Chains A and B, each alone.
Chain A
Amino acid sequence: MNDFLGPTAWAVLSLLLTTVLLVGLTILRRRRELAASFREIPALSELPEELGRAAETGSPIHIALGRGGLGSVDTVTSLAGLQVLEGLVDAAVSYDVAPVITVGDPTLLPLAQDLLRRAYERNEASELYDPGRVRFIAPAATAYAAGAVPLGAPEDVTANVAAGTFGAEVSFIADISSRHGTAKRGAVDTAQAIGALYPATSRLAAGEELYAAGAEISKREKYVTSLITEDILRCLVVLAILVAAALALIGS
Protein backbone atom coordinates (compact mmCIF):
# COMPACT_ATOMS: atom_id res chain seq x y z
CA MET A 1 0.00 0.00 0.00
CA ASN A 2 2.81 2.35 0.98
CA ASP A 3 4.59 1.57 -2.30
CA PHE A 4 1.43 2.34 -4.22
CA LEU A 5 1.22 5.75 -2.55
CA GLY A 6 4.90 6.54 -3.14
CA PRO A 7 5.99 9.56 -5.20
CA THR A 8 6.62 7.40 -8.30
CA ALA A 9 3.12 5.95 -8.21
CA TRP A 10 1.61 9.42 -7.80
CA ALA A 11 3.72 10.77 -10.69
CA VAL A 12 2.69 7.87 -12.97
CA LEU A 13 -0.98 8.27 -11.99
CA SER A 14 -0.88 12.04 -12.59
CA LEU A 15 0.75 11.58 -15.99
CA LEU A 16 -1.73 8.86 -16.96
CA LEU A 17 -4.67 11.01 -15.85
CA THR A 18 -3.34 13.99 -17.81
CA THR A 19 -2.75 11.84 -20.89
CA VAL A 20 -6.25 10.33 -20.70
CA LEU A 21 -7.76 13.81 -20.31
CA LEU A 22 -5.74 15.22 -23.21
CA VAL A 23 -6.52 12.35 -25.58
CA GLY A 24 -10.14 12.00 -24.39
CA LEU A 25 -10.90 15.69 -24.78
CA THR A 26 -9.30 15.75 -28.23
CA ILE A 27 -11.49 12.84 -29.40
CA LEU A 28 -14.60 14.30 -27.76
CA ARG A 29 -14.10 17.76 -29.22
CA ARG A 30 -13.47 16.32 -32.69
CA ARG A 31 -16.61 14.19 -32.60
CA ARG A 32 -19.01 16.73 -31.12
CA GLU A 33 -17.32 19.96 -32.21
CA LEU A 34 -17.76 21.39 -28.70
CA ALA A 35 -17.25 25.11 -28.34
CA ALA A 36 -14.80 26.15 -25.65
CA SER A 37 -15.13 29.28 -23.58
CA PHE A 38 -12.30 30.46 -21.38
CA ARG A 39 -11.32 33.54 -19.44
CA GLU A 40 -9.79 36.24 -21.57
CA ILE A 41 -6.23 37.28 -20.72
CA PRO A 42 -5.82 40.80 -22.17
CA ALA A 43 -2.00 40.56 -22.18
CA LEU A 44 -2.28 37.73 -24.72
CA SER A 45 -5.62 38.21 -26.47
CA GLU A 46 -4.76 41.81 -27.40
CA LEU A 47 -1.48 40.84 -29.04
CA PRO A 48 -3.00 40.43 -32.53
CA GLU A 49 -4.37 44.01 -32.20
CA GLU A 50 -0.89 45.14 -31.22
CA LEU A 51 0.34 43.51 -34.39
CA GLY A 52 -2.30 45.42 -36.37
CA ARG A 53 -1.01 48.69 -34.90
CA ALA A 54 2.52 47.61 -35.83
CA ALA A 55 1.35 47.05 -39.40
CA GLU A 56 -0.15 50.55 -39.54
CA THR A 57 3.06 52.18 -38.33
CA GLY A 58 5.30 49.86 -40.34
CA SER A 59 7.37 49.09 -37.23
CA PRO A 60 7.73 45.57 -35.90
CA ILE A 61 7.06 44.25 -32.42
CA HIS A 62 9.86 42.77 -30.34
CA ILE A 63 9.32 39.37 -28.75
CA ALA A 64 11.85 38.55 -26.03
CA LEU A 65 11.84 34.81 -25.37
CA GLY A 66 13.98 35.02 -22.23
CA ARG A 67 17.00 33.22 -20.93
CA GLY A 68 15.51 29.73 -20.97
CA GLY A 69 16.40 27.08 -23.50
CA LEU A 70 16.03 23.43 -24.39
CA GLY A 71 17.58 20.79 -22.17
CA SER A 72 17.24 22.79 -18.95
CA VAL A 73 14.55 23.11 -16.29
CA ASP A 74 13.16 25.98 -18.35
CA THR A 75 12.51 23.85 -21.44
CA VAL A 76 8.73 23.76 -21.18
CA THR A 77 8.49 27.44 -20.20
CA SER A 78 10.55 28.24 -23.30
CA LEU A 79 8.21 26.12 -25.44
CA ALA A 80 5.29 28.06 -23.95
CA GLY A 81 7.08 31.29 -24.93
CA LEU A 82 7.40 29.93 -28.46
CA GLN A 83 3.60 29.46 -28.53
CA VAL A 84 3.28 33.26 -28.29
CA LEU A 85 5.56 33.55 -31.30
CA GLU A 86 3.75 30.78 -33.18
CA GLY A 87 0.43 32.54 -32.61
CA LEU A 88 1.70 35.78 -34.10
CA VAL A 89 4.13 34.95 -36.91
CA ASP A 90 1.58 34.21 -39.64
CA ALA A 91 -0.29 37.48 -39.13
CA ALA A 92 3.01 39.37 -38.80
CA VAL A 93 4.33 37.93 -42.06
CA SER A 94 1.08 38.62 -43.91
CA TYR A 95 1.18 42.24 -42.64
CA ASP A 96 4.83 42.37 -43.77
CA VAL A 97 6.03 43.37 -40.30
CA ALA A 98 8.05 40.33 -39.21
CA PRO A 99 8.73 40.54 -35.49
CA VAL A 100 12.21 40.98 -34.05
CA ILE A 101 12.86 38.01 -31.77
CA THR A 102 15.59 37.89 -29.15
CA VAL A 103 16.78 34.81 -27.26
CA GLY A 104 19.12 34.38 -24.31
CA ASP A 105 19.84 30.73 -24.95
CA PRO A 106 21.19 29.61 -28.31
CA THR A 107 19.14 26.38 -28.29
CA LEU A 108 16.02 28.49 -28.90
CA LEU A 109 17.61 30.18 -31.90
CA PRO A 110 16.98 27.44 -34.52
CA LEU A 111 13.46 26.78 -33.18
CA ALA A 112 12.46 30.45 -33.39
CA GLN A 113 14.08 30.78 -36.84
CA ASP A 114 12.24 27.68 -38.00
CA LEU A 115 8.87 29.05 -36.83
CA LEU A 116 9.52 32.26 -38.74
CA ARG A 117 10.72 30.42 -41.85
CA ARG A 118 7.64 28.18 -41.89
CA ALA A 119 5.38 31.23 -41.61
CA TYR A 120 7.06 32.77 -44.65
CA GLU A 121 6.66 29.49 -46.55
CA ARG A 122 2.97 29.25 -45.65
CA ASN A 123 2.50 32.80 -46.91
CA GLU A 124 4.43 31.94 -50.11
CA ALA A 125 7.06 34.56 -49.40
CA SER A 126 10.11 32.36 -48.66
CA GLU A 127 12.43 34.79 -50.44
CA LEU A 128 11.63 37.47 -47.82
CA TYR A 129 12.64 35.30 -44.87
CA ASP A 130 15.56 36.80 -42.95
CA PRO A 131 17.07 34.54 -40.24
CA GLY A 132 18.68 37.68 -38.79
CA ARG A 133 15.26 38.68 -37.38
CA VAL A 134 15.97 36.15 -34.62
CA ARG A 135 18.86 37.35 -32.50
CA PHE A 136 20.90 35.70 -29.79
CA ILE A 137 21.95 38.36 -27.27
CA ALA A 138 23.90 36.84 -24.38
CA PRO A 139 23.73 33.72 -22.24
CA ALA A 140 23.86 35.64 -18.91
CA ALA A 141 20.40 36.62 -17.66
CA THR A 142 21.11 40.27 -16.78
CA ALA A 143 23.25 40.84 -19.89
CA TYR A 144 20.49 39.37 -22.06
CA ALA A 145 17.75 41.53 -20.54
CA ALA A 146 19.87 44.69 -20.59
CA GLY A 147 20.89 44.13 -24.22
CA ALA A 148 17.65 42.69 -25.61
CA VAL A 149 16.16 46.05 -26.66
CA PRO A 150 19.17 48.29 -27.40
CA LEU A 151 21.26 45.60 -29.09
CA GLY A 152 18.64 43.10 -30.19
CA ALA A 153 15.87 45.39 -31.37
CA PRO A 154 17.28 48.87 -32.01
CA GLU A 155 14.64 49.38 -34.71
CA ASP A 156 11.66 51.50 -33.61
CA VAL A 157 9.47 48.76 -32.23
CA THR A 158 5.82 49.36 -31.34
CA ALA A 159 5.76 46.92 -28.44
CA ASN A 160 8.09 44.81 -26.35
CA VAL A 161 6.64 41.43 -25.44
CA ALA A 162 8.47 39.38 -22.82
CA ALA A 163 7.28 35.76 -23.07
CA GLY A 164 9.25 32.89 -21.59
CA THR A 165 11.77 32.39 -18.80
CA PHE A 166 12.65 35.58 -16.97
CA GLY A 167 13.62 36.64 -13.48
CA ALA A 168 13.74 40.13 -11.98
CA GLU A 169 16.06 41.14 -14.85
CA VAL A 170 12.98 41.56 -17.08
CA SER A 171 12.77 44.94 -15.35
CA PHE A 172 15.47 46.16 -17.78
CA ILE A 173 13.22 45.49 -20.77
CA ALA A 174 10.28 47.17 -19.03
CA ASP A 175 12.40 50.18 -18.10
CA ILE A 176 13.67 50.74 -21.64
CA SER A 177 10.10 50.37 -22.96
CA SER A 178 8.88 52.99 -20.48
CA ARG A 179 11.63 55.41 -21.45
CA HIS A 180 10.85 54.98 -25.16
CA GLY A 181 7.09 55.13 -24.57
CA THR A 182 6.70 51.67 -26.11
CA ALA A 183 3.88 49.32 -25.15
CA LYS A 184 4.86 46.51 -22.79
CA ARG A 185 3.38 43.04 -22.55
CA GLY A 186 4.49 40.18 -20.39
CA ALA A 187 3.82 36.46 -20.11
CA VAL A 188 6.07 35.12 -17.38
CA ASP A 189 5.85 32.36 -14.79
CA THR A 190 8.34 33.17 -12.03
CA ALA A 191 7.50 35.21 -8.92
CA GLN A 192 10.53 37.47 -9.50
CA ALA A 193 9.51 38.36 -13.05
CA ILE A 194 5.87 38.88 -12.06
CA GLY A 195 6.97 41.20 -9.23
CA ALA A 196 9.23 43.12 -11.61
CA LEU A 197 6.65 43.47 -14.39
CA TYR A 198 3.51 44.16 -12.34
CA PRO A 199 4.33 47.84 -11.71
CA ALA A 200 5.47 48.30 -15.32
CA THR A 201 2.42 47.02 -17.17
CA SER A 202 -1.20 46.17 -16.56
CA ARG A 203 -0.98 43.75 -19.49
CA LEU A 204 0.65 40.84 -17.71
CA ALA A 205 -0.07 37.12 -18.06
CA ALA A 206 1.23 35.67 -14.81
CA GLY A 207 2.09 32.13 -13.82
CA GLU A 208 0.15 29.40 -15.61
CA GLU A 209 -1.45 32.03 -17.86
CA LEU A 210 1.74 31.81 -19.93
CA TYR A 211 0.72 28.25 -20.86
CA ALA A 212 -2.62 29.57 -22.14
CA ALA A 213 -0.84 31.66 -24.78
CA GLY A 214 -1.43 29.25 -27.66
CA ALA A 215 -5.16 29.01 -26.95
CA GLU A 216 -5.59 32.75 -26.38
CA ILE A 217 -3.73 33.92 -29.47
CA SER A 218 -4.11 31.25 -32.13
CA LYS A 219 -7.21 29.42 -30.78
CA ARG A 220 -5.78 26.23 -32.28
CA GLU A 221 -7.47 23.01 -31.26
CA LYS A 222 -4.42 21.39 -29.60
CA TYR A 223 -3.89 24.43 -27.36
CA VAL A 224 -7.57 24.80 -26.46
CA THR A 225 -7.70 21.11 -25.46
CA SER A 226 -4.58 21.59 -23.32
CA LEU A 227 -6.10 24.59 -21.60
CA ILE A 228 -9.30 22.69 -20.78
CA THR A 229 -7.16 19.81 -19.45
CA GLU A 230 -5.22 22.26 -17.26
CA ASP A 231 -8.47 23.73 -15.93
CA ILE A 232 -9.86 20.27 -15.05
CA LEU A 233 -6.58 19.29 -13.34
CA ARG A 234 -6.54 22.60 -11.44
CA CYS A 235 -10.06 21.94 -10.14
CA LEU A 236 -8.99 18.43 -9.06
CA VAL A 237 -5.95 19.83 -7.24
CA VAL A 238 -8.09 22.44 -5.44
CA LEU A 239 -10.56 19.71 -4.46
CA ALA A 240 -7.71 17.49 -3.19
CA ILE A 241 -6.24 20.36 -1.13
CA LEU A 242 -9.63 21.21 0.41
CA VAL A 243 -10.42 17.55 1.21
CA ALA A 244 -6.94 17.01 2.70
CA ALA A 245 -7.25 20.19 4.79
CA ALA A 246 -10.73 19.19 5.99
CA LEU A 247 -9.51 15.68 6.90
CA ALA A 248 -6.54 17.16 8.77
CA LEU A 249 -8.84 19.48 10.72
CA ILE A 250 -11.23 16.65 11.61
CA GLY A 251 -8.29 14.43 12.58
CA SER A 252 -6.85 17.05 14.92
Chain B
Amino acid sequence: MGHVIKKWIPIFIATGSGLLTLAGYLFPDTTLSAYRDQFIEWVVIVAAFALILGVLNILRVHSQRIVNSAEGWPYSLILLVAASIAWIPPLFSGPTGSMTQGILDYVISPLGGALAALLAVTLTLAGVRLLRHRRDPLSVLFIAVVALALLGTTPLLGFEWLGEVRAWLIQVPGMAGFRGLLLGVALGTVVTGLRVILGRDRPHSEL
Protein backbone atom coordinates (compact mmCIF):
# COMPACT_ATOMS: atom_id res chain seq x y z
CA MET B 1 0.00 0.00 0.00
CA GLY B 2 2.85 2.36 0.91
CA HIS B 3 4.44 1.62 -2.45
CA VAL B 4 1.22 2.61 -4.25
CA ILE B 5 0.94 5.86 -2.29
CA LYS B 6 4.57 6.82 -2.67
CA LYS B 7 5.08 5.80 -6.29
CA TRP B 8 1.94 5.38 -8.34
CA ILE B 9 -0.35 8.10 -6.99
CA PRO B 10 2.21 10.90 -7.64
CA ILE B 11 2.90 9.47 -11.12
CA PHE B 12 -0.84 9.30 -11.85
CA ILE B 13 -1.38 12.92 -10.72
CA ALA B 14 1.69 14.26 -12.55
CA THR B 15 1.04 12.37 -15.79
CA GLY B 16 -2.70 13.11 -15.77
CA SER B 17 -2.38 16.83 -15.10
CA GLY B 18 0.55 17.10 -17.52
CA LEU B 19 -1.32 15.40 -20.35
CA LEU B 20 -4.51 17.38 -19.74
CA THR B 21 -2.64 20.70 -19.72
CA LEU B 22 -0.73 19.77 -22.87
CA ALA B 23 -3.94 18.65 -24.60
CA GLY B 24 -5.57 21.95 -23.53
CA TYR B 25 -2.88 23.86 -25.44
CA LEU B 26 -3.01 21.60 -28.49
CA PHE B 27 -6.82 21.68 -28.74
CA PRO B 28 -7.80 25.12 -27.37
CA ASP B 29 -11.37 25.06 -28.71
CA THR B 30 -12.41 22.07 -26.60
CA THR B 31 -13.37 21.70 -22.91
CA LEU B 32 -9.78 20.63 -22.30
CA SER B 33 -8.76 24.30 -22.26
CA ALA B 34 -10.96 24.80 -19.16
CA TYR B 35 -9.00 22.06 -17.33
CA ARG B 36 -5.76 23.65 -18.55
CA ASP B 37 -6.76 27.06 -17.13
CA GLN B 38 -7.80 25.45 -13.84
CA PHE B 39 -4.44 23.69 -13.47
CA ILE B 40 -2.58 26.93 -14.25
CA GLU B 41 -4.57 28.72 -11.51
CA TRP B 42 -3.56 26.00 -9.06
CA VAL B 43 0.09 26.41 -10.09
CA VAL B 44 -0.13 30.13 -9.20
CA ILE B 45 -1.54 29.26 -5.76
CA VAL B 46 1.13 26.61 -5.12
CA ALA B 47 3.82 29.09 -6.23
CA ALA B 48 2.48 31.62 -3.70
CA PHE B 49 2.86 29.05 -0.92
CA ALA B 50 6.37 28.28 -2.19
CA LEU B 51 7.22 31.95 -1.68
CA ILE B 52 6.29 31.58 2.01
CA LEU B 53 8.63 28.56 2.16
CA GLY B 54 11.31 30.72 0.56
CA VAL B 55 10.92 33.47 3.14
CA LEU B 56 11.05 30.92 5.97
CA ASN B 57 14.20 29.46 4.41
CA ILE B 58 15.83 32.92 4.38
CA LEU B 59 14.91 33.47 8.04
CA ARG B 60 16.24 30.05 9.05
CA VAL B 61 19.54 30.23 7.13
CA HIS B 62 20.41 33.76 8.24
CA SER B 63 19.26 33.29 11.85
CA GLN B 64 21.58 30.25 12.06
CA ARG B 65 24.41 32.33 10.65
CA ILE B 66 23.89 35.04 13.28
CA VAL B 67 23.60 32.51 16.13
CA ASN B 68 26.79 30.74 15.00
CA SER B 69 28.59 34.08 14.41
CA ALA B 70 29.51 32.73 10.98
CA GLU B 71 31.63 34.76 8.58
CA GLY B 72 29.62 37.72 7.28
CA TRP B 73 26.97 37.42 9.98
CA PRO B 74 26.46 41.22 10.18
CA TYR B 75 25.15 41.09 6.58
CA SER B 76 22.70 38.41 7.65
CA LEU B 77 21.57 40.69 10.48
CA ILE B 78 21.05 43.60 8.07
CA LEU B 79 19.12 41.28 5.76
CA LEU B 80 16.83 40.09 8.55
CA VAL B 81 16.24 43.64 9.86
CA ALA B 82 15.45 44.89 6.35
CA ALA B 83 13.14 41.92 5.71
CA SER B 84 11.37 42.53 9.04
CA ILE B 85 10.76 46.20 8.22
CA ALA B 86 9.83 45.79 4.56
CA TRP B 87 6.57 43.89 5.14
CA ILE B 88 5.10 46.55 7.48
CA PRO B 89 4.20 49.33 4.96
CA PRO B 90 2.28 47.03 2.58
CA LEU B 91 0.41 45.63 5.59
CA PHE B 92 -0.91 49.05 6.62
CA SER B 93 -1.05 51.05 3.37
CA GLY B 94 -1.51 48.23 0.84
CA PRO B 95 0.63 47.51 -2.20
CA THR B 96 -0.16 50.91 -3.81
CA GLY B 97 0.24 52.98 -0.64
CA SER B 98 2.71 55.87 -0.54
CA MET B 99 5.05 54.12 1.93
CA THR B 100 5.15 50.93 -0.13
CA GLN B 101 5.71 52.93 -3.30
CA GLY B 102 8.44 54.86 -1.47
CA ILE B 103 10.28 51.62 -0.67
CA LEU B 104 9.95 50.56 -4.30
CA ASP B 105 11.00 53.95 -5.73
CA TYR B 106 13.78 54.91 -3.32
CA VAL B 107 15.24 51.55 -2.27
CA ILE B 108 14.41 48.62 -4.55
CA SER B 109 14.50 50.45 -7.92
CA PRO B 110 17.85 52.23 -7.31
CA LEU B 111 19.37 48.99 -6.02
CA GLY B 112 18.15 47.09 -9.07
CA GLY B 113 19.47 49.86 -11.34
CA ALA B 114 22.83 49.84 -9.59
CA LEU B 115 23.15 46.08 -9.99
CA ALA B 116 22.19 46.30 -13.67
CA ALA B 117 24.85 49.00 -14.16
CA LEU B 118 27.41 46.84 -12.34
CA LEU B 119 26.71 44.11 -14.85
CA ALA B 120 28.44 46.16 -17.57
CA VAL B 121 31.52 46.32 -15.33
CA THR B 122 31.62 42.58 -14.60
CA LEU B 123 31.08 41.74 -18.29
CA THR B 124 33.97 44.05 -19.29
CA LEU B 125 36.20 42.61 -16.56
CA ALA B 126 35.44 39.10 -17.82
CA GLY B 127 36.66 40.16 -21.27
CA VAL B 128 39.91 41.50 -19.80
CA ARG B 129 40.43 38.30 -17.78
CA LEU B 130 39.78 36.20 -20.89
CA LEU B 131 42.90 37.54 -22.61
CA ARG B 132 44.91 37.12 -19.43
CA HIS B 133 43.96 33.47 -18.81
CA ARG B 134 43.18 32.07 -22.27
CA ARG B 135 45.51 33.57 -24.83
CA ASP B 136 44.47 31.83 -28.01
CA PRO B 137 43.20 32.93 -31.43
CA LEU B 138 39.58 32.19 -30.50
CA SER B 139 39.74 34.51 -27.48
CA VAL B 140 41.21 37.29 -29.66
CA LEU B 141 38.44 36.71 -32.22
CA PHE B 142 35.82 36.83 -29.44
CA ILE B 143 37.11 40.19 -28.16
CA ALA B 144 37.41 41.56 -31.70
CA VAL B 145 33.78 40.66 -32.48
CA VAL B 146 32.59 42.21 -29.19
CA ALA B 147 34.52 45.41 -30.00
CA LEU B 148 33.12 45.51 -33.55
CA ALA B 149 29.56 44.95 -32.35
CA LEU B 150 29.91 47.77 -29.81
CA LEU B 151 31.64 50.19 -32.20
CA GLY B 152 29.06 49.43 -34.87
CA THR B 153 26.38 51.17 -32.83
CA THR B 154 28.59 54.19 -32.10
CA PRO B 155 28.17 57.11 -34.55
CA LEU B 156 31.83 57.55 -35.58
CA LEU B 157 32.37 59.87 -38.56
CA GLY B 158 34.17 58.07 -41.37
CA PHE B 159 33.55 54.65 -39.82
CA GLU B 160 29.96 54.16 -40.92
CA TRP B 161 30.98 50.84 -42.51
CA LEU B 162 31.35 49.46 -38.99
CA GLY B 163 27.55 49.57 -38.71
CA GLU B 164 27.27 47.35 -41.79
CA VAL B 165 29.86 44.92 -40.42
CA ARG B 166 27.94 44.78 -37.14
CA ALA B 167 24.66 44.16 -38.94
CA TRP B 168 26.23 41.31 -40.94
CA LEU B 169 27.80 39.79 -37.82
CA ILE B 170 24.50 39.83 -35.94
CA GLN B 171 22.21 38.88 -38.80
CA VAL B 172 24.26 36.09 -40.40
CA PRO B 173 26.63 34.17 -38.06
CA GLY B 174 25.00 35.50 -34.89
CA MET B 175 21.42 34.76 -35.87
CA ALA B 176 22.32 31.40 -37.44
CA GLY B 177 24.08 30.28 -34.28
CA PHE B 178 21.25 31.59 -32.13
CA ARG B 179 18.67 29.76 -34.26
CA GLY B 180 20.62 26.51 -33.95
CA LEU B 181 20.85 27.04 -30.21
CA LEU B 182 17.11 27.66 -29.93
CA LEU B 183 16.26 24.54 -31.94
CA GLY B 184 18.55 22.42 -29.77
CA VAL B 185 17.07 23.88 -26.57
CA ALA B 186 13.55 23.28 -27.89
CA LEU B 187 14.37 19.60 -28.56
CA GLY B 188 15.90 19.26 -25.10
CA THR B 189 12.82 20.87 -23.57
CA VAL B 190 10.41 18.55 -25.40
CA VAL B 191 12.33 15.40 -24.43
CA THR B 192 12.80 16.44 -20.78
CA GLY B 193 9.14 17.48 -20.49
CA LEU B 194 7.92 14.23 -22.04
CA ARG B 195 10.11 12.24 -19.69
CA VAL B 196 8.25 13.78 -16.74
CA ILE B 197 4.84 13.28 -18.36
CA LEU B 198 5.64 9.65 -19.21
CA GLY B 199 6.73 9.03 -15.62
CA ARG B 200 10.34 8.19 -16.59
CA ASP B 201 11.55 11.14 -14.55
CA ARG B 202 9.93 11.48 -11.14
CA PRO B 203 11.10 14.58 -9.26
CA HIS B 204 7.81 14.32 -7.30
CA SER B 205 7.98 10.68 -6.22
CA GLU B 206 9.80 8.85 -3.45
CA LEU B 207 10.50 5.81 -5.65
- A residues within 8 Å of B by Cβ? 8, 11-12, 14-15, 18-19, 22-23, 26, 69-71, 75-77, 79-80, 82, 105-107, 109-111, 114-115, 118, 131-132, 134-136, 139-140, 142-143, 146, 150-151, 154-155, 168-169, 171-172, 174-175, 178, 189, 191, 194, 196, 198-200, 202, 206-208, 210-212, 222, 225-226, 229-230, 233-234, 237
Q: Report the nearest A residue to B22, measured CB to CB.
A: A15
Collect the chain A residues with CB atoms within 8 Å of residue B200's CB: 22, 26, 222, 225-226
A143 to B119, CA, bound (A): 11
Contact A111 B203 (CB under 8 A): yes
In this complex, what residue of B is CB-closest to A79? B192
Residues of B that sit less than 8 Å from A by CB: 22, 26-27, 40, 43-44, 46-47, 50-55, 57-58, 60-61, 64-65, 70-72, 75-76, 79, 111-112, 115-116, 118-119, 122-123, 125-127, 129-130, 134, 139, 142, 178, 180-181, 183-185, 187-196, 198, 200-201, 203, 206
CB of B129, distance to nearest CB on chain A (Å): 6
Chain B residues with CB under 8 A of A11: 26
Q: How far is the CA of A139 from the CA of B79 in the complex (A)?
A: 15
Chain B nearest CB from A39 CB (Å) reads 13
B203 — which chain A residues lie within 8 A by C-beta?
A: 79, 82, 111, 114-115
Query: Which residue on B lies nearest to A211, using beta carbons?
Result: B188
Name the residue on A nearest B128 (C-beta): A199
| 9 A-B contacts (beta carbon < 8 Å) | A11-B26, A18-B190, A76-B188, A82-B203, A109-B53, A143-B111, A150-B75, A199-B139, A211-B185
Q: A11-B26, A19-B198, A171-B126 are in contact. Are A208 and B72 (CB under 8 A)?
A: no
A233 & B142 in contact (Cβ 8 Å cutoff): no
User: Which residues of chain A come closer than 8 Å to B26, judged between CB atoms?
Assistant: 8, 11-12
A70 to B48, CA, bound (A): 12
A172 B122 Cβ-Cβ under 8 A:
yes
CB nearest to A189 among chain B residues = B185
A202 to chain B, nearest CB (A): 6
**How far is it, in angstroms, between the C-alpha of A229 and the C-alpha of B61 when the chains are bound?**
41
A131 neighbours in B (Cβ, 8 Å) = 57, 60
**Chain B residues in 8 Å Cβ range of A132:** 57, 60-61, 64
A8 to B139, CA, bound (A): 44
- Asked if A22 contacts B195 (CB within 8 A), the reply is yes
Bound-complex Cα distance A206 to B178 (A):
11
B188-A80 in contact (CB<8A) = yes
Residue of A nearest to B202 (CB): A222
Question: Which residue, B116, B118, B119, B183, has most C-beta atoms of chain A within 10 A?
Answer: B119
Tell whether, in the assembled complex, residue A196 and residue B183 are in contact, meaning their CB atoms are under 8 Å apart: no
Given contacts A8-B26, A136-B57, A142-B119, contact A230 B126 (CB under 8 A): no
Cβ–Cβ < 8 Å partners of B76 in chain A: 151
Q: Bound state CA distance, A82 and B139, in angstroms? A: 31
Chain B hits for A168, CB < 8 A: 119, 123
Residue contact B194 to A19, C-beta cutoff 8 Å: yes
